[in-house]
Amino acid sequence: MSFDALAPWYRTLEWIAFGDELQRCRVACLGEIAAPRRALIIGEGNGRFLCELLRFHPEVEVDCIDASHRMLQLARKRIADELGNRLERVHFLHDDIMSWSPPKHHYDLVVTHFVLDCFPEAVVAGITKKLALAAMADANWLLADFCVPRNGMARFCARSRLAMMYLFFRLMTRIEARELVDPTPLMRAEGFVLARQHPFRKGTLKSEMWRRNR
Ligand SMILES: C[S@@+](CC[C@H](N)C(=O)[O-])C[C@H]1O[C@@H](n2cnc3c(N)ncnc32)[C@H](O)[C@@H]1O
């Protein structure tokens, strides 16, 4: 699996398919969290969310993990161009979340935007456990992703669009997933509670804030 070849085109493809809705989805909960001190972003991609996180919360230190070297280069360049003085607050880590070992109980913010959808259910379960262990007892977890409405035409349209997207990403990046996995029960099992949810595009996209209070 690699997003390297797709990385230079990712922003354009996103704009053609979704306009600015994915970005609205990524940042929807940013103003609703308490200022984080240490954030972990998994699969950040080209840095658009990271940039807004640093604008909203200038004091945060960020560990940004991505398996794509090219995506990390784009993210670093974006921060250098737009917020050069914040670059030192970000550690860009070229690594695979499946093999990377995070420090325990370290982060008060975890972010997984449009990344858990790259993995099959057993892998999502493993990643969720790993990230929950890396999170502090009172951490927030921001999650933006696709979702499938319960019924009606919207469900049919969402499933058809997702089927095409999975075909495209399987061909272009060799992701393992064949269908969308809902991480909700996995996050609940780790003690996280859904605190906010913002639907977009008739409920086919969601931005969620999860909170743990131990
Ligand atoms: C679909 S893109 C999403 C990018 C961005 N988060 C967004 O909101 O658009 C998935 C990102 O996760 C990264 N990724 C995929 N599998 C990964 C893994 N096993 N470990 C770390 N990063 C991974 C890819 O390189 C890519 O940047």
Paired tokens of 119: 């993995």
> Which CATH number belongs to the domain containing residue 165 in this structure?
3.40.50.150
Residue 102 lies in domain: 7-212
**Taking a C-beta distance cutoff of 8 angstroms, is the pair 119, 110 a contact?**
no
137 located within any domain? yes
The pLDDT value recorded for residue 214 is: 67
The answer on pLDDT for 179 being more than 80 is yes
Contact status, residue 184 vs residue 150, Cβ threshold 8 Å:
no
Q: Is residue 164 one of the residues assigned to a domain?
A: yes
Q: Cα of 134 to ligand 1 centre, how many Å?
A: 18
| CA 97/CA 102 separation, integer angstroms | 9
**Number of independent structural domains in the chain:** 1
The 10s digit of each residue's pLDDT in 2-52 is 999 999 999 999 999 999 999 999 999 999 999 999 999 999 999 999 999
| Residue 25 included in any domain | yes
Q: Which residue lies with its CA nearest to atom 6 of ligand 1? A: 44
Closest to 36 measured CA to CA, from 89, 100, 99, 98:
89
Q: Looking at the domain assignment, is residue 69 inside a domain?
A: yes
60 lines ligand 1 (CB under 6 A): no
| Distance (Å) from CA 192 to ligand 1 centroid | 22
Q: Is 1 a member of any domain?
A: no
The pTM (predicted TM-score) of the whole model is 0.97
Question: Apex CA 101: angle with CA 27 and CA 33, to 5°?
Answer: 25
In a domain, 200, yes or no: yes
Cα of 71 vs centre of ligand 1, distance in Å, is 8
On the question of pLDDT at 134 being above 70, the answer is yes
Query: What token pair was written down for 118?
Result: 């790259």
The pLDDT tens digits of the residues spanning 51-110 come to 999 999 999 999 999 999 999 999 999 999 999 889 999 999 999 999 999 999 999 999
Does residue 101 form part of some domain? Answer: yes
Does the Cβ of 17 fall within 6 Å of ligand 1? Answer: no
Average pLDDT over every residue of 173-185: 94
